[in-house]
Amino acid sequence: MAKKPSSLFVCQECGAVVPKWAGKCEACGAWNSMVEEAQREEVPKGLSGGKGRKIEFVGLEGSSAPLPRLTTAIGELDRVCGGGLVPGSCLLVGGDPGIGKSTLLLQAAAALASQASVAYISGEEAVDQVRMRASRLGHAKAAVALASATSLRDILASLDGPEAPQVVVIDSIQTVYADNIESAPGTVSQVRACAAELIRLAKRRGFILFLVGHVTKDGQIAGPRVLEHMVDTVLYFEGDRGHQFRILRTTKNRFGATDEIGVFEMTDRGLSEVPNPSALFLAERRGNVSGSCVFAGMEGTRPMLVEIQALVAPSSLSSPRRAVVGWDTNRLSMLLAVLDARCGLALSGNDVYLNVAGGLRITEPAADLAVAAALVSSASDVPVPADMVVFGEIGLSGEVRAVAQADTRLKEAAKLGFAQALVPSRPRKDKGAGGGAGSLAIRSIGHLQDVLGLFRHE
């Protein structure tokens, strides 16, 4: 009989378990993320033999009270949580180190403290450090119960009781350790076990639990992905550290819609909300420059206007450069191929750089037409009019396809003072389509070829 392996290798990114070390995880493709961990028993002792109680089944119909929600004073945070925090729910806040997770949660904790009892447990910073941050944020007087702790046993003992707080922040889950598990803090088995215990307690006591999770590139500690299935809501804090904008994005929410984003600005007094992101993203735009085009996009339910910048320059390399920030590289390759094959605009001898200004990441196909306009404009050195917004999806034969929520996009553009819009010719039938964009001159086009006509010879 084969000898039972005494340890296993666990991917710190996705939690996949394999018996042999490998440089690349077969399950999620992460490199150098395998860490040896002591094997855990598959079935806890005493469970398989015992007799269970019969569970009771009920119908789908029935009355349940609408969810009571606790709103923070931070509107952008409430928005991504689906309109406030649900008691007993668990939220995971992930993001790169230094992006602003602790700052956001300290601000949220301070804001919530006026209406609920809040505990903030930091495993990363000493009490004094958190106090210093609080005074910098102007929240030194907030009634937040603060502690610096990392032992799960201590944390559970302090939170379990009739006087349990209504909101608990654990910053971060990777620093918490359970002393009955052999692996080091931050490994998959530790992170999973600690989170499971904390979530179980949150459900039992009905408190709102925030777990902070660092995203790691080198796989030394377990990423938040291994916890995504356990929590109710997953929020990722993203943004470029070189930019002051921070985007809080919902990727999972059992109590609301996903794809919502909250926009913040990092200032010297913490994170401040950005109620009108379009105006901010367009603030530094210079008019009448070739290669710049304003895309009227949607983020969740909210329209968002951003500037797309392209630079097409002759290349001396045998395989010219393609550099993309904020958009999908494959999508750019597709657009360049369509421009070449369907419109006769060959850019294969040119370096192409594409940038979404402000550090936003766009995933919508509706940005195709705006990117194409920026590319054509840069290649021919004819500016796209500064008062024009563009949106539309482009198909492989070069046809410009209609996109959803055209009306909302146009309304936002009109509100920000734009005068013309370049849009797909056949608008998709949206529910509730109506006026509001009346002041815009609409230019509809059916094929990418028409874009070349617009921004080429003047």
Scanning residues 127 to 146, which ones bind ligand TYD (CB under 6 A)? 133, 136-137
Q: Please, which residue, 191 or 311, has the CB nearer to ligand TYD?
A: 191
Report how far apart, in Å, the C-alpha atoms of 454 and of each of 30, 55, 344, 377, 446 are. 44, 68, 15, 9, 13
Near ligand TYD by CB under 6 A: residue from 61, 179, 268, 284: 268
Task: Give the nearest distance from C-beta 277 to ligand TYD in angstroms.
Answer: 19
Task: Give the nearest distance from C-beta 108 to ligand TYD in angstroms.
Answer: 12
**Which entry of ligand TYD, Mg ion, none binds 266, CB below 5 to 8 A by partner kind?**
ligand TYD
Scanning residues 227 to 266, which ones bind ligand TYD (CB under 6 A)? 266
Task: Give the nearest distance from C-beta 38 to Mg ion in angstroms.
Answer: 28
Task: Give the nearest distance from C-beta 205 to ligand TYD in angstroms.
Answer: 26
Q: Please, which residue, 102 or 292, has the CB nearer to Mg ion?
A: 102
Scanning residues 375 to 434, which ones bind ligand TYD (CB under 6 A)? none
Scanning residues 223 to 262, which ones bind Mg ion (CB under 5 A)? none
Task: Give the nearest distance from C-beta 184 to ligand TYD in angstroms.
Answer: 20
Q: Please, which residue, 102 or 290, has the CB nearer to Mg ion?
A: 102
Site string for ligand TYD, 96-125 (x = CB under 6 A): -xxxxxxx----------------------
Give bridge partners of residue 356 from the DSSP assignment. Answer: 308
Q: Please, which residue, 106 or 345, has the CB nearer to Mg ion?
A: 106
Task: Give the nearest distance from C-beta 241 to ligand TYD in angstroms.
Answer: 7
By the rule CB under 6 A, 270 interacts with ligand TYD: yes
**Which entry of Mg ion, ligand TYD, none binds 256, CB below 5 to 8 A by partner kind?**
none
Near ligand TYD by CB under 6 A: residue from 53, 269, 431, 457: 269
Q: Which stretch binds ligand TYD (CB under 6 A): 47-55, 93-101, 321-329, 345-353?
A: 93-101
Q: Please, which residue, 98 or 453, has the CB nearer to ligand TYD?
A: 98
Q: Which two tokens stand for residue 311?
A: 């630079």
Scanning residues 75 to 134, which ones bind Mg ion (CB under 5 A)? 102
> Residue 233 half-sphere exposure, CB side, CA atoms within 13 Å?
32
- Residues of this chain that interact with ligand TYD (CB under 6 A) are 95, 97-103, 133, 136-137, 266, 268-270
- Residues of this chain that interact with Mg ion (CB under 5 A) are 102
